[in-house]
Amino acid sequence: MKIIVDAMGGDNAPGEIVRGALDAAREFNVQITLVGRGEDILGALKAQGAEGLPPGVEISHAQEEVTMHDSPATVIKDKPDSSMAVGLKMLAAGEGDAFVSAGSTGALLACSTHYVKRVKGIRRAALSPFLPTRTGGRALLIDCGANAECTPEYLLQFACMGSFFTSKQMKIQNPRVGLLNIGAEENKGTSLQREAYALLNQASRDKLINFVGNIEARDVPLGAADVVVADGYSGNILLKAMEGTGMLFAGMLKNMLTKNILTKLAAAMLSGGIRGIKKTMDYTETGGSPLLGLMKPVIKAHGSANAKCMKNAVLQAKIFAEANVIEAIQENIEKMKAGAQEI
C-alpha cells in the first residue's frame, strides 16, 4: 500500500513529518511518497542520518506550500503547485491509496473536495476525530469544524457515514449514534437539532443506524454513544473543551503529585496508571482524523503533529484504506437520500 504524505504541512514540517513517515514505512510495511520541496525533504532525511532515500520511500516535488495564513477559498487558484494540491492530485489519479496532511484544515477540505471529489450524493465531507471515553474506548465525533453551518440532511449523512466508519474500521457492531444537544428530550435544541432528530429517528426505524437519541456534551466522555453527530460549530467547541479539560487535569495532577516527598512517592506507586491516563488523552496516539464523504481516503493530522503523531496518522490512513468505508457509504447513499425525503 502506498501512502502520500504532505511533507510541508503543519507546524513541524518538514523535519518531524518526514521522520514520522519514515518510521511508518519501517513499522507498518507501507510505501511512502513525500510531497514537497525536494531539497527540503532531502535535508530533513540527512538530518536524521539517512543518506538518500530509504527503501520504500520516494519524493514528489512540489515547489509551493499551504500555510495557515492562506485563504481556503483561494488556495486552489493561488497555489496549484503546493504540496497539498500535488499530493491530492496524485491520490485522485490513483498514484496512492491514501493522503495524509497536517496542514490547514480549511485548505485541506477545499482541495480535497476540488481534486478528490465527494462521493456522489454526499452533500458535505466531515472531519471525524476520535474522543477518549471513560469506558476505555473512543467515540467518533462527526463533524468537528469542517462545516460550521449545517442542514438536517447533512447531519443525517454524517450519522450514517460515522456509523459505517465505526462499524467497518473500529469493528463495533451496531454502533450507538447520538445527536449532540443541550438536553436529552426530543424537543430540545434549535430547529436544526429538532429536525435532525426526526431524520435520525426515522433512519433508526429503517435499520440504517442505531440512534440512541440526544446526548449532552458531558455524556460524551462518559461513553454515551459510539458516534456523536454535530454541526461543525458545536462539534469544534466540544472538541476544544475536551482538549482544554485534559490539559487542565494533567497540569493539576502534576502539581499535586510533585508537591512534596510524600506525593512524589505516591506518584511513583501510581506511575503505571498515570501513564495509561496520559496515553488515553494523548492526541498523538490516534494520529489523525478522516475526512469522511470523499471518494478516496484523506487523513487530517494535528497541525502541531510530531513524528509520533505523523506515524500514527499514516497508520490511520492504512487502516482506513483497508476498511472499505467508502464503499459502504456508496452502497447506502440512496437510503440516506430516501430517509431525508420522507420527513
Round to whole Å and give the CA distance between 147 and 167.
23
The string of pLDDT tens digits covering residues 170-194 is 889 999 999 999 999 999 999 999 9
Write out the three cell numbers for 321.
Answer: 484504506
Round to whole Å and give the CA distance between 92 and 99.
10
Write out the three cell numbers for 77.
Answer: 487558484
According to CATH, the topology of domain 1-122+293-324 is Isopropylmalate Dehydrogenase (3.40.718)
Residue 172's nearest CA partner among 231, 122, 121, 223 is 223
The string of pLDDT tens digits covering residues 110-166 is 999 999 999 999 999 999 999 988 877 889 999 998 899 999 999 999 999 999 999
The single-letter code of the amino acid at 112 is S
pTM over 0.75? The answer is yes
Q: Among positive and negative, which fits the CA dihedral 14, 19, 22, 27? A: negative
What does the pLDDT read at residue 263? 81
What does the pLDDT read at residue 343? 46
Write out the three cell numbers for 151.
Answer: 442542514
**CA dihedral of 182, 153, 127, 237, whole degrees rounded to 10:** -20
Enumerate the domain spans of the chain: 1-122+293-324
DSSP string, 156-188: HHHHHHHHHHHHHHS--SS-EEEEE-SSSSTT-
Round to whole Å and give the CA distance between 210 and 230.
16
Residue 293's nearest CA partner among 112, 110, 118 is 118
Residue 1's nearest CA partner among 95, 101, 105 is 95
In the chain, DSSP assigns E strands to: 2-6, 31-36, 57-61, 98-101, 126-127, 130-132, 138-142, 176-180, 210-215, 227-229, 288-292, 298-301
Instruction: Kindly tell me the burial class for residue 342, based on how many C-beta atoms sit within 10 Å of its own C-beta (0-12, 13-18, 19 or more).
Output: exposed
| pLDDT of the chain, 343 residues: tens digit per residue | 999 999 999 999 999 999 999 999 999 999 999 999 999 999 998 888 777 788 899 999 999 999 988 898 899 999 999 999 999 999 999 999 999 999 999 999 999 999 999 999 999 999 999 998 887 788 999 999 889 999 999 999 999 999 999 998 888 999 999 999 999 999 999 999 999 999 999 999 999 999 999 999 999 999 999 999 999 999 999 998 988 888 888 888 888 888 888 887 877 777 777 666 666 665 666 678 999 999 999 999 988 899 999 999 999 999 999 988 899 899 888 877 655 555 4
For residue 35, the SS3 value is strand
Confirm if 216 and 183 have CB atoms less than 8 A apart: yes
